Amino acid sequence: MQIHIIGGGVIGLCSAWYLMQEGHEVVVIDNTDLTDGASHGNAGMVVPSHFIPLATPGVMAKGIRWMFDKRSPFFIKPRLSPELLEWVWKFYRSATPEKVNKAIPVLKQLNERSRELYQEFAATPPFNFDLERKGLLLLYNNPKTEQEEIEIAEKAHDLGMEARVLSSAEVQQLETGVKVDVRGGVYYPGDAHLYPNTFIRQLAAELKASGVNFITGKSIVDFNIGGGKIEKLLMSDGSAIEVKQVVLAAGSWSARLLKKAGVKILLQDGKGYSVTYENLPARPEIPTILTEAKVAITPMGKHLRIGGTLEISNFSEKVNQFRLQGILNSLQHYYPEFSVEMPDEKSIWHGYRPCSPDGLPYIGKSKKIENLIVATGHAMMGMSTGPATGKLVTQMFAGKKPEMDVSLFRVDRF
CB 74 within 8 A of CB 312: no
Q: Which residues of 96-198 form beta strands (DSSP E)? A: 136-140, 164-167, 184-188, 192-193
Whole-number pLDDT of residue 68: 61
Q: What pLDDT is recorded for position 64?
A: 66
Interval 273-288 mean pLDDT: 96
Residues 6+ positions from 367 with CB-CB distance below 8 Å: 411, 412
Query: Is the alpha carbon torsion for 316, 322, 328, 331 positive or negative?
Result: negative
**Tell me: the pLDDT tens digits for 199-248?**
999 999 999 999 999 999 999 999 999 999 999 999 999 999 999 999 99
10-21 vs 382-397: helix axis angle to the nearest 10? 40
Number of Cβ atoms within 10 Å of the Cβ of 211: 9
Query: Domain 2-40+198-267+358-409 belongs to what architecture?
Result: 3-Layer(bba) Sandwich (3.50)
- Element spanning 258, H or E: helix 254-260
Q: Is 317's pLDDT higher than 90?
A: no
Cβ atoms within 10 Å of 125's Cβ, excluding its own: 6
> β-pairing, 220-226 with 229-235?
antiparallel
Rounded mean pLDDT of 48-76? 77
pLDDT of residue 400: 92
pLDDT value at position 63?
A: 65
Q: What percent of the chain has a predicted confidence (pLDDT) above 70?
A: 97
pTM (2 decimals)? 0.96
The yes-or-no verdict on residue 3 having pLDDT over 90 is: yes
Q: Is the pLDDT of residue 165 over 90?
A: yes
Q: What is the identity of the amino acid at 220?
A: I
pLDDT at 69 > cutoff 80: no
| CA atoms of 48 and 161, how far apart (whole Å) | 9
pLDDT tens, residue by residue, 21-52: 999 999 999 999 887 776 788 999 999 999 99
**Per-residue model confidence as pLDDT tens digits over 85-134:** 999 899 999 999 999 999 999 999 999 999 999 999 999 999 999 999 99
Residue 164: strand pairing partners:
187
Considering only CA atoms, give the Rg of the chain: 21
Q: pLDDT tens-digit profile of 166-180?
A: 999 999 999 999 999
The answer to whether the CB of 190 falls within 8 A of the CB of 50 is no
Burial of 282 (0-12, 13-18, 19+ CB in 10 A): exposed
C-alpha span between 240 and 220 (Å, rounded): 9
Alpha-carbon dihedral sign for residues 358, 361, 366, 369? positive
User: 126 preceded by cis ω (within 30°)?
Assistant: yes
Domain-by-domain residue ranges, the chain? Answer: 2-40+198-267+358-409
Distance, in Å, from the CA atom of 166 to the CA atom of 147, rounded to the nearest integer, reads 13
User: For residue 67, is pLDDT > 80?
Assistant: no
**Which pLDDT does position 270 carry in this prediction?**
92
Mean pLDDT across the chain, nearest whole number?
94
Angle made by CA atoms 28, 112, 363, in degrees to the nearest 5: 40
Say yes or no to pLDDT of 71 above 80.
no
Distance CA(390)–CA(13), nearest Å, equals 8
Report pLDDT for 140: 99
Give residue 55's pLDDT band: very low, low, confident or very high (50, 70, 90). confident
Residues 148-164, mean pLDDT to the nearest whole number: 97
Reported confidence tier of residue 315, pLDDT bands at 50, 70, 90: confident
- Cα–Cα distances in angstroms (integers) from residue 167 to residues 272, 282, 312, in the given order: 30, 23, 35
pLDDT given at position 59: 74
Residue type, 279: N
Instruction: For 281-367, list the strands marked E by DSSP.
Output: 288-290, 295-300, 303-312, 349-355, 362-365
